[in-house]
Structure 1
Amino acid sequence: MEIVVIGGIAAGMSTAAKAARTNREANVTVIEKENYISFGACGLPYYLGGQFDDKSEMFARTPEQMEKSGINLMLEHEVTSIDFVTKTVTMTNLKTDNVVIKQYDRLMIATGAQPIVPPLNGIEAENVYTITKFENVDRLKKLISSVKDIVVIGGGFIGVEVADQLALQGKNVHLIEAGSTIMSGPFDPEFSQKLQGAIEEEGIQVHIEEMAQELILDDKGKVVSVKTDKGNYSADAVIVAIGFRPNTSFIRQDFLTLPNGAIVIDQYGRTSVPDVFAAGDCASVPHRLLGDSYIPLATTANKLGRIVGTNIAVDETDMQAYVGALGSSAIKAGAYEAASTGLTEKQAKAKGLNYKTTCIETNNHSNYYTTQEKIMIKLVYDAETFVLYGAQLFGKNETVLRATGLTTAIHAGLTTKELGFIDYAYAPPFASTWEAINVAANTAK
């Protein structure tokens, strides 16, 4: 069996590694445009922020390791077209410009996503950066000591993480967000406001409901300021982080897709084209409560990659179904941390559910242990059955890991009434006799 994987980062390499272990007789080939594989871009804000300096920490596997395991790697090859009738992949060798055609029996598409770059005047300047590729971020890291004023465009995960890390280095940071709140995807407004306050405590100047209009250049072609519809901000560097677009433009017409071009897959990772699978940031994710969703996170990419790695290498009767995601995510913002899992109130309302919410502040552990802090917890649940739909948390130490228990409860379909009496571990440094999760659940009426 010829198994071909297009894309060698998270989902792609998870698929290749699992497929090679599952079917020893299969010939597994990975085609990757870059000269590296298994790169974890999630580490880039923290690499830029000086939390670590060894770039190898962001690479889970080396090409040599994968080739030793029997996987064929075609690095620096870019796929230009796929013929799904003849089952052939056409690609260009980026080093030689030679055209190469590869036959497959089963194909996996893991082409990822690319950052959305707005068509602003000056956007091509050398001191404008996106935070997706190592080379780009490494270039900024080498210059960071000479940079003072930084404008970050976009208040999502990457924008907030990068702004936070740069503020810790004493940079003067302006964060521009066109929406009414930062982090509006995974969090409801009251949590977005808490996160904004957290990064403002670090000195970051947040500008919401403000749109970047133009990047002002000097006579050498470098950006010196960012003009918005409300102001003008000096900039030695500009970071653009306004979202992602699936890398499917060259094939999206062949598949059932979401409106943004993400390839729709089923619970087995199969696309609408026979013998073709997909996963990662180029594809949809089966959400347990929302159905087909776009969730460009490393967690789902790796899990679905592993699922596809099994299914692409076996008969249909032996395929494994993905259990479904809940969009669980977390972020560190200044001295605080936050997490979201399952449905937000916005999502529950948009879905037309008969829901209720409760939102409380309670203590992380007993008052006679010195690091006691408040945790804010919001639960979204069914108004009649009390089945838990979603949860959000905000606080300092010991906050985000509590989302693990709440995710498990949502996944299992537990009610708030059950959750209020689950026997969580207790000791004064870690919890109260009534764990914070118990307390929140018991306020659901």
Structure 2
Amino acid sequence: MEIVIIGGIAAGMSAAAKASRTNKDANITVIEKEKYISFGACGLPYYLGEEFADENEMFARTPEQMEKTGINLLLEHEATNIDFNKKIITVTDLQTGESFEKAYDRLMLATGAQPIVPPIPGIDADNAYTITKLDSVNRLKKALTSYKKIMVVGGGFIGVEVADQLVKLGKDVTLLEAGPEIMSGPFDSEFSQKLKGALEEDDICVCTNEAAEEFVQTDGQITAVKTAKGQYEVDAVIIAIGFRPNTKFYADNFKTLSNGAIIIDQHGQTSIKDVFAAGDCASIPNRLLGDTYTALATSANKMGRIVGTNIGLPESEWESFVGSLGSSAIKAGQYEAASTGLTEKQAISKGLNIKTTCIETNNHSNYYTVQEKIMIKLVYDAETFVLYGAQLFGKNETVLRATGLTTAIHAGMTTKELGFVDFAYAPPFASTWEAINVAANTAK
């Protein structure tokens, strides 16, 4: 069996590694534009912020390691055309410019996503950066000593993480968000406001309801950012306003979401037989929402593993993905936050009959040092009390509690059950009534 995987970063290499173990007789080829594979871009903000120094820490596997398992790697190669009827891929060697054809029996698309770079005047300057590729971040790291005032455009995960890291390096950071709130995708308003306050507590200037309209250049460098409200002097700009699935050259052949992400089923198969997809180029089956676009490394790796299992086996032996909950976490200044399942606004948009509870309670017993408040919000069915979603905000010991809440949502537990779950207790870690118990018991 000829298996071809286009894309060798997260989902693609997870699939290749699993497929090589599942079907040892398959001939597996991975086509990747970069010089490397298995790169964890989630580490880039922390590499930029000098949380660690060795860039190799962000690579889960080396090409040599994968080739030893029998996987054929075509690095610095690009799939430029796919004939889905004849099952033939046109591949171009990016070093020589030469092209050749590669046939497949089964194909996986793992082409990822690309950062959205809006057509704002002046954005093409050398001191405008995106935080998705190692080369770009290394270029920024080398120039950082000459930058003092840095504007981060975009209040999502990457924007918040980068702003958080840059201020630790002594930079004067402004975070610009066109919408009314930062982190508005995974969090409801009260948590977005808490995260904004956490950044401001660390002297990051957070400007919401304000969009960049022009990047003013002087001698080819951005020196100011104009908005409808004024002008900001800057030494550099970081663009972090989101991602677009990298599916443009083949998306017309498939059923897709509105943003171009390829829709897959619970087996990872697309609307074309023998063609699979996973990662940031594809949808992800969500346990509560159905087909969604969730550009998270956890989803990419899990769905990649499912595809790797199925792509080399007969259909009767395929495994199904259990479904995502879109669980995520973020650190902002001295605080941390997590979200899992449905937010209140998602539940309302889905037409669910819900109630919510939002409380502050202690992280552990009052007689143990450094007691902190944890804010917990639960979204649950108004009649059955089945838990649909949860959000948390606080300092130490906050985000890991999301693990218990994710498990409860996955299992379809009610708040009444959750209120009496026997969580582990000792004064340094919890109170006799664990914070999750307390929140669940306020659901009425």
> What TM-score, normalized to structure 2?
1.00
Please give the alpha-carbon distance, in whole angstroms, between the structure 1 residues aligned to 2:406 and 2:28.
35
User: What residue number does 2:189 align with?
Assistant: 189
Q: Aligned residue for 1:50? A: 50
Is 1:258 the counterpart of 2:252? The answer is: no
Query: Structure 2: any 5+ residue segments left out of the alignment?
Result: none
The residue aligned with 1:123 is 123
Partner of 2:205: 205
| SS of corresponding position for 2:24 | coil
* Paired residues for 1:127-138 under 5 Å: 127-138=127-138
Partner of 1:84: 84
Name whichever of 434-443 and 141-150 sits farther off: 141-150
| Aligned-partner SS, 1:428 | coil
Q: Which residue of 2 is the match for residue 240 of structure 1? A: 239
Pairwise CA distance, 1:318 = 0.3
Matches of 1:178 and 1:221, distance apart in 2: 25
Cross-structure match for 1:312? 311
The aligned counterpart of 1:229 is 228
Secondary structure (helix, strand or coil) at the match of 1:126 reads coil
SS at match of 2:322: coil
Q: Which SS does the other structure have where 1:256 is aligned?
A: coil
Structure 2 counterparts to residues 146-161 of structure 1, below 5 A = 146-161=146-161
Distance 1:354 1:24 in 2: 49
2: CA distance, partners of 1:367 / 1:107: 57
Following TM superposition, by how much is the alpha carbon of 1:377 offset from its aligned partner in structure 2, in angstroms? 0.1
Write the mapping of 1:103-118 to structure 2, written as runs, cut at 5 A. 103-118=103-118
Return 5+ residue gaps in structure 1 as ranges.
Answer: none
CA deviations over 1:43-79 (Å, ceiling 9, x no partner): 0000000101100000000000000011000000111
1:359-398 to structure 2, matched below 5 A, reads: 359-398=358-397
Structure 1 position 231, deviation (Å)? 1.5
**What's the offset of the Cα at 1:23?**
0.3
User: Within 2, Cα distance between the matches of 1:82 and 1:274?
Assistant: 14
* 1:321 corresponding residue in structure 2: 320
Following the alignment from structure 1 to structure 2, what is the Cα–Cα distance between the partners of residues 226 and 134? 25
1:353-380, CA deviations, whole angstroms, 9 ceiling, x for partnerless residues? 0000000000000000111100000000
CA distances 1:103-142 after superposition (whole Å, capped 9, x unpaired)? 0000000000000001011111000000000000010011
1:344-403 deviation line (CA, Å, top 9, x unaligned): 000000000000000000000000011110000000000000000000000000000000
Correspondence for 1:94: 94
Residue 172 of structure 2: aligned partner: 172
Which residue of the partner structure matches residue 442 of structure 2?
443
Q: Which amino acid aligns with 1:276?
A: V
Q: Kindly state the Cα deviation for residue 215 of structure 1 after the two structures are TM-superposed.
A: 0.3
Opposite residue 253 of structure 1, the aligned amino acid is D
Q: Partner of 1:39: helix, strand, or coil?
A: coil
Partner AA of 2:90 in structure 1 = T
Could you say what secondary structure the match of 1:100 adopts?
Answer: strand
Matched residue type, 1:171:
K
Runs of 4+ in 1 over 6 A off after TM superposition: none
SS of the aligned residue for 1:320 comes to: coil
* Cα root mean square deviation, aligned: 0.4
Give 1:118's aligned amino acid. Answer: P
Q: In structure 2, the residue corresponding to 1:214 is in which secondary structure? A: strand
1:299 — aligned with what?
Answer: 298
SS at match of 2:100: strand
SS of the equivalent of 1:140 reads: helix
Tell me, in whole angstroms, the C-alpha distance in 2 between the residues paired with 1:364 and 1:142. Answer: 41
Most deviating of 75-84 and 275-284? 75-84
CA–CA separation in structure 1 for the residues paired with 2:12 and 2:413: 34
> Counterpart amino acid of 2:396?
N
Aligned to 1:7: 7
**C-alpha deviation, 1:100, in angstroms:** 1.6
Match of 1:144 in 2: 144
- Counterpart residue number, 2:405: 406
Which string of whole-angstrom CA distances, capped at 9 and with x for unpartnered residues, describes residues 258-284 of structure 1? 000000000000000110000000000
Distance 1:143 1:256 in 2: 43
Matching residue of 1:273: 272
Worse-superposed segment, 230-239 or 347-356 = 230-239
**How far, CA to CA, are the matches of 1:361 and 1:38 in structure 2?**
40
Question: Which letter does structure 2 place at the counterpart of 1:147?
Answer: Y
Partner Cα separation in structure 2 for residue 200 and residue 142 of structure 1? 27
1:181-221: CA deviations, max 9, x gaps?
A: 00000000000000000000111000000010000000x20
Alignment of 1:22-61 (within 5 A): 22-61=22-61
Q: Which amino acid aligns with 1:165?
A: Q
SS in 2 for 1:286: strand
**1:145: how far off?**
1.5
* 1:67 maps to 2:78: no
Partners of 2:166 and 2:232 lie apart in 1 by 16
Q: How far does the alpha carbon of each residue in 1:78-114 deviate from its partner, in whole angstroms, 9 at most, with x for none? A: 1111001110011210000001210000000000000
Write out per-residue CA displacement over residues 143-196 of structure 1, whole angstroms, 9 at most, x where no aligned residue: 111210000100000000000000111100111101010000000000000000
Corresponding residue SS for 1:173: strand
Structure 1 equivalent of residue 285 of structure 2? 286
Amino acid at match of 2:244: R
- Distance in 1 (alpha carbons) for counterparts of 2:226 and 2:397: 40
- Asked whether 1:427 is paired with 2:426, we answer yes
Residue 258 of structure 2 aligns to a residue whose secondary structure is: coil
Task: Find the aligned partners of 2:333 and 2:294 in 1 and give their Cα distance.
Answer: 25
Equivalent-residue separation in structure 2 for 1:77 and 1:235 (angstroms) = 38
Letter in 2 for 1:364: N
Provide the TM-score with structure 1 as the length reference: 0.99
Aligned-residue identity in percent = 74
Length, aligned pairs only: 444
SS in 1 for 2:125: coil
Report Cα offsets for 1:301-340 as digits up to 9, x if no partner.
0000000000001000000000000000000000000000
